[in-house]
Structure 1
């Protein structure tokens, strides 16, 4: 059975925000460009949270590990 991970939710939230922007642009008096830009900023904030607040590392020491496959 598959369990949802944090980054699955990040991807879902990014896609949902952009689809919401298209919907708002099509179904309301808000211009399409304003709706896309504003929900794009929301998507950027979600991506920033996924990268910098809850980054894909367990410990800051993981950043100093060498990559053996490239040597």
Structure 2
């Protein structure tokens, strides 16, 4: 079975790598771990924001205007 990488796979990988790199930087350098992980967390927030708002999980902009029947 061939697996093809999707955009949201890369978003999840980017979040993981940013947080892991923050932990590694904090552990191996003079930068405080809390500072390094916080900075990496901000990068993760940017990646998540891009996945949600710039390249959101909808097919088209018209999908955003459709009413949700479960809430009516």
Q: Under a length normalisation based on structure 2, what TM-score does the superposition of the two structures give? A: 0.89
Residues 5-38 of structure 1: per-residue CA shift (max 9 Å, x gap): 0000000000000000000000000000100100
Name 2:20's counterpart in structure 1.
19
Cα distance, 1:60 vs. partner? 1.0
Structure 1: 5+ residue runs without aligned partners? none
Residue equivalent to 2:61: 60
TM value normalised by structure 1: 0.90
Looking at structure 2, the residues matched to 37 and 19 of structure 1 have their Cα atoms a distance apart, in angstroms, of: 11
Equivalent pairs counted in the alignment come to 70
Q: Deviations over 1:27-70 (max 9, x none)?
A: 000000100100000000000011111111121111233445x3
Structure 1 residue runs of 4+, over 3 Å off?
A: none
Tell me the distance in 2 between the aligned counterparts of 1:62 and 1:5.
20
Match of 1:33 in 2: 34
RMSD: 1.2
